Structures are given as structure tokens and as C-alpha cells.
A and B are shown apart, each in its own frame.
Chain A
Amino acid sequence: LDISEVRGIVERVFARQEVLDVCARRDLGAIVAVLGTHGVTQGQISELTGIGQGRLSEWARHKRTPTASSTFEAFADGLAIPPRARQALGLAPIPLGGAGPGPEQSPGGRAALPAQAPSGTARPPTGGLSRLPGLEGVRSELEVVIGVLKAEQDRRKAGLAVRRPAWKNLVFTGPPGSGKSRTAIAVGQAYRKLGVLSSGRVLQVTAADLAGAGPEETGKLVGKAARLATGDLDDQ
């Protein structure tokens, strides 16, 4: 299935009353199973939502049950679930966290499930950071960064050449426990949704992990970390 087919299936499936009833029970495992019967694989759902395939499998087999609001938000945001179904899941009808209006209002903001209309004036997605008080300033700065990347993506979608893409790298400064890692996860999700990265996975390493005894070893360590981060190398 390509992404447009997945989008069509999601819209059709979540329009059905029995699926809305499943949403009201907050049974994500049953939703994963229903999507599976329509050909949407757990791997595709994982890729779109950033939720691990193993976790999805456990839900589908009812070995585990998700409870965290952030999980429901990631699931609904990643699949661009329609407003009625979002409400049935106990979520706001449009994505929270600066993710902007839902698919009906602002489909262009989601690279994971690209839609037909232009982006409009939606705020760039910042991965649910609004749930954490005290990160308003961080969120505001990120919106500028992500807004630039989003505009760039919109130009690409419009068929315009982007010969000099904007850099996506960031510097986070601050003491331990100030939300840097949490924000990095949100940035990963936002970049994936925009389509500027193929995966939202964040690999965390410490500076010492990359500093080798000599240039050759350092080169290997940095290269390996990059390949791990991009999924080109398995961390097993």
C-alpha cells in the first residue's frame, strides 16, 4: 500500500460506527487489527505513528493495553485519524501541542500522510510539547525552525526546486532535567511528520561515546552512531 491508499483506508475505516465504538473503548489493539484486515500492516502503522511494531503487536494480541495520553495522541496524529474518531478516543478533535488543525483543516502539515490541500496557516507540529508547562519558549523557537522546514517541504510538493535545503541540526543548552531529551523526541516526530526525515527515531549518545583514541577510531565511532541513528545499522 502506498501512503495515499493508507490515507483512504483510514478515512473509510474510521467513518464506520463500529470502529467509532472501538475508539470509545480506547482499544487501540482492536483498531490495529481492523486496519490489518484492510491491508495496513503493523510496520506501516509503526512508521506513521512512531510507536514500536512490537508494542502494536502486543496491543493487537491484548497482551498490553496503552494508557498514556501521549500514546493515544501519537497514534491519532500519525494516522491522521478524523476528528470524530479522535473525540471518541478522548482526544481533542484537532491535534494538541501546536500540531495545528486536523487533517480537514490543514492536511499539508503532515508529511506522513500527505494530503491534497496546501498548508494554510497552521502552526508547525511540535510533537505535543504543549502538555509540558515551562517549555513555551522552547516551543516557540522550535515553531520557527519547523516552520522553515515546512515551507521548504511545501515548495517541494508544489514541484519547485529546493537546491539548498535548510539545515535541520540544533543545539540545546540547559541543565539536566530541563526537557532537552523530551524535546528531542518531539523534534524527531515533527521532522518525520514533515517528511524531512524518514524516521522519527532519536538515538541518544554521550559525547564520550564518539571521542576515540585517534582520528581513525573517532571517525568509526561517529560514522557508526550516524548509521545507528538512521537505521542503516542494527544496534544488536
Chain B
Amino acid sequence: MKRPETSPLTPLTPAVLHILMALAEEDRHGYAIAQEIETATEGEVRMGPGTLYGTIQRMLGAGLIDESPKRPRPGEDERRRYYRMTPLGRRLLEAELARLARVMRVAQDKRILRGPGVA
């Protein structure tokens, strides 16, 4: 099987994975990213601002995301900056999700976990 070029960076830390998934749909500012993650995980993952921006800083450095030209809507806090996923980030997310899917398949094959449709 052809190994994706991004493999040295995987597996992703949960924080990076969640942020990439939150940015997959649209560009968001920090607080919106955290809210999206919280909603998506049904409140299981709550990221504090320090953790979030620490991770964002490293993702910016690795070229996984960059600053979006999108500006706050009128009436919103003007200090907000928006972030978007880079093509590299998207490839990495896809590679990671594919890897996770393989892991899930193995788990289901071994009947460790009952996947959807198996029950």
C-alpha cells in the first residue's frame, strides 16, 4: 500500500485532530473552534484557550493551518483572528482519518468492538 507523505506526523495528538476537523468545514476563530469541538464531541472534549492556542501556534509553524483573510462580522469582537486549513493540513487529516479507519476495521475484525452494521 502506498504510504502517504504525511505519515511521519501521524498519529496526530487529539488536539490537532480535533482542530483540523473543526476547520474542515469552514474558517473559524479560536473560540468558535473550541465550541465546534465541544459540540462535535458532545461536551467530552473542552479545550481551554491556552491549550488551544498552544496547539494552533505549532500547527501554524508546521504549515497545517494559516490565518484566514475572513474578518469578524460587524458587531463581533474585532480582535478575533480566523484560521483556515492549508492543503497540507487537509492531506494530513485525510491520512489520519484513513489510518484510524484501518484501526477501526482491525478492531471490528477482532470483535473487540462492534462497529456500525455489525450489531
Q: Do A and B share a complex?
A: no
Binding site for B on A (CB under 8 A): none
